[in-house]
Amino acid sequence: MAAPADSVHRDAVESLSAQYSRVRALSVALVGTLAPEDTVVQSMPDVSPTKWHLAHVTWFFERFVLESFVTGYRRFDDDYDYLFNSYYYTAGQMHARPKRGMLSRPTLARVFDYRSHVDEHMQRLLDERHDDAKLAAVVALGLNHEQQHQELLLTDIKHVLSQSPLQPAFDPELPVPPSRPVDAYSFVNGASGIHRAGTTGDGFHFDNETPRHDTLLHEHRIGSRLITNGEFREFVTDGGYAESTLWLSDGWATVNQEGWDRPLYWSEDLANEFTLGGPRAIEDAAPVTHVSFYEADAYARWAGARLPTEFEWETAAADKPVEGNLLQAGFLHPVPGAGATQFFGDVWEWTSSPYAPYPGFVPLDGSLGEYNGKFMCNQMTARGGSCVTSSDHVRASYRNFFYPHMRWQFFGIRLAKDGHG
Element (H, E) at 351: strand 348-354
Place 215 in a pLDDT band, splitting at 50, 70 and 90.
Answer: very high
Q: Taking residues 301-324, what's their average pLDDT?
A: 96
My answer on whether 148 and 247 are in the same domain is no
My answer on whether 59 and 103 are in the same domain is yes
| The predicted structure's pLDDT at residue 1 | 31
Rounded CA-CA distance 355/376 in Å is 5
My answer on whether 74 and 205 are in the same domain is no
Report yes or no: 84 and 52 within 8 Å, Cβ to Cβ: yes
- Angle CA(293)–CA(296)–CA(297) in degrees, nearest 5? 85
Tens digit of each residue's pLDDT (9 = 90 or more) over 224-281? 999 999 999 999 999 999 999 999 999 999 999 999 999 999 999 999 999 999 999 9
Is the bond into 359 cis (omega within 30 degrees of 0)? Answer: no
pLDDT tops 90 at residue 360: yes
Handedness of CA 50, 52, 53, 58 (dihedral sign): positive
Tens digit of each residue's pLDDT (9 = 90 or more) over 114-140? 999 999 999 999 999 988 999 999 999
Q: Checking DSSP bridges between strand 348-354 and strand 220-223, what pairing results, if any?
A: unpaired
Rounded CA-CA distance 410/288 in Å is 9
Q: How many CA atoms lie within 13 A of 412 on its CB side?
A: 27
Q: Supply the range of the domain harboring residue 287.
A: 187-418
My answer on whether 118 and 212 are in the same domain is no
My answer on whether 153 and 205 are in the same domain is no
> Domain count of the chain?
2
Q: Is 138 exposed, middle or buried (0-12, 13-18, 19+ CB in 10 A)?
A: buried
E strands, 289-345, in order: none
Residues 6+ apart with CB under 8 A from 204: 2, 3, 5, 7, 8, 9, 140, 144
Place 13 in a pLDDT band, splitting at 50, 70 and 90.
Answer: low
Tens digit of each residue's pLDDT (9 = 90 or more) over 332-350? 999 998 666 799 999 999 9
Report the share of the chain in percent with pLDDT over 70.
Answer: 96
My answer on whether 287 and 324 are in the same domain is yes
pLDDT tops 60 at residue 12: no
Exposure string (b/e) for 160-184, b if CB count within 10 Å is 16 or more? bbbeeeeebbbbeebeebeeeebee
pTM tops 0.85: yes
Arithmetic mean of pLDDT over the chain: 94
Domain presence at residue 173:
no
| The predicted structure's pLDDT at residue 421 | 86
Rounded CA-CA distance 387/320 in Å is 17
My answer on whether 314 and 227 are in the same domain is yes
Domain presence at residue 167:
no
Least-confidence region, from 12-21, 232-241, 344-353, 354-363: 12-21
My answer on whether 242 and 390 are in the same domain is yes
